[in-house]
Amino acid sequence: MPRPPAPVDQLALIQRALRCCALFRDWPELAVDRIARIARLERYERRTQVMAQDRQRREVLVVVSGCMEVSGMNAAGAKFMLSMHGPGDVVALVRLLKDVPMVYDYHAREDTVLVHLPSDALRAILDDSPLLWKDVALLALKRQHESIVLMQRRALGRPQQSLAETLVKLAGWLGQPIDGGPAISLRLSQGELATMLSVSRQTMNKELRLLAQQGMVTADYGQLTILDLAALRRMAEGGR
């Protein structure tokens, strides 16, 4: 169950969180204020499911801090991870649609704070300022493009670039510097990484060994250390 944040000026926190979100950053002050007043702020502990009591609830989510995953599971218990999101990301835009059944769940991978925006109220604000729908459409198209790129990499057998990109993102969201140096620690298992990239554990183990041979990472049980973030970033961008 979500825990309410500490007693502070929640409206100010929500407004600040919305301004840190790329979707709302440049919206008119009046629109952001209206959105903030329909929102609520909630804190989730690590591995807590969001909207667990009502998986079909129509709410758009903004990540304030922490990290959230979007994933699903079939009847056999096999898990598929669609995406992961960190601070400043807006998630669950599809819940602006009224009649589409929700097939994905949302979990906090670490202690996470979210802004919840009721879809009906948010849609009414957008309808009052139709030009704002353009930003929603552009974000949806960007997400579609990212999904196509990811599918292409998987189809072409290039998991190492996707792995590097994922590690760079996770380092920014969840990484902990080790002794003030350049090395970054991630509390993450090989199995979790394999699920994120929809590959087998054997494939993930092979790819991590290749990165380790190049001096970029080391992997232990439930723990991964990034030794050369710059090299990972170059690989994620398609370089060598």
| Residue 115 confidence (pLDDT) | 97
- Partnered with residue 223 across adjacent β-strands are 220
Residue 61 near residue 90, CB atoms below 8 Å: yes
The residue extents of the domains of the chain are 10-152, 159-236
Ramachandran angles phi, psi of 235, nearest 5°: -65, -40
Instruction: Please provide the CATH number assigned to the domain covering 10-152.
Output: 2.60.120.10
| Residue 95 confidence (pLDDT) | 93
- The per-residue pLDDT for range 8-34, each reduced to its tens digit, is 588 899 999 999 999 999 999 999 999
- The per-residue pLDDT for range 81-127, each reduced to its tens digit, is 888 899 999 999 999 998 888 888 999 988 999 999 999 999 999 99
| Residue 189 confidence (pLDDT) | 84
- The per-residue pLDDT for range 149-199, each reduced to its tens digit, is 877 776 775 778 888 988 998 888 878 888 777 889 988 888 888 888 878
* 3-state SS, residue 47: coil
Distance in angstroms (rounded) separating the CA atoms of residues 127 and 137? 13
Letter string b/e over residues 74-107, b meaning 16 or more CB atoms within 10 A of that residue's CB: eeeeeeebebbbbbbbbbbbebbeeeeebebbbb
pLDDT reading at 240 higher than 60 = no
Question: Token pair for residue 186?
Answer: 């991630």
| Residue 211 confidence (pLDDT) | 92
Instruction: Please provide the CATH number assigned to the domain covering 159-236.
Output: 1.10.10.10
| Residue 2 confidence (pLDDT) | 57
- Partnered with residue 63 across adjacent β-strands are 114
| Residue 7 confidence (pLDDT) | 43
Distance in angstroms (rounded) separating the CA atoms of residues 170 and 181? 18
What pTM was computed for the model?
0.80
**CA 167 vs CA 41, 152, 183, 188: distances in Å:** 28, 19, 13, 10
pLDDT range class, residue 3, cuts 50, 70, 90: low
Which amino acid makes up residue 162?
A: S
**Mean pLDDT across the chain:** 87
Q: First vs last Cα of the chain: how many Å apart? A: 44
| Residue 212 confidence (pLDDT) | 92
| Residue 194 confidence (pLDDT) | 86
Pick 151 or 228 by higher pLDDT.
Answer: 228
pLDDT reading at 6 higher than 50 = no
- Dihedral sign of CA atoms 197, 198, 201, 206 in order: negative
User: What average pLDDT does range 136-151 have in this prediction?
Assistant: 88
| Residue 75 confidence (pLDDT) | 76
Which amino acid makes up residue 91?
A: V
pLDDT reading at 219 higher than 90 = no
| Residue 237 confidence (pLDDT) | 82
Which amino acid makes up residue 192?
A: E
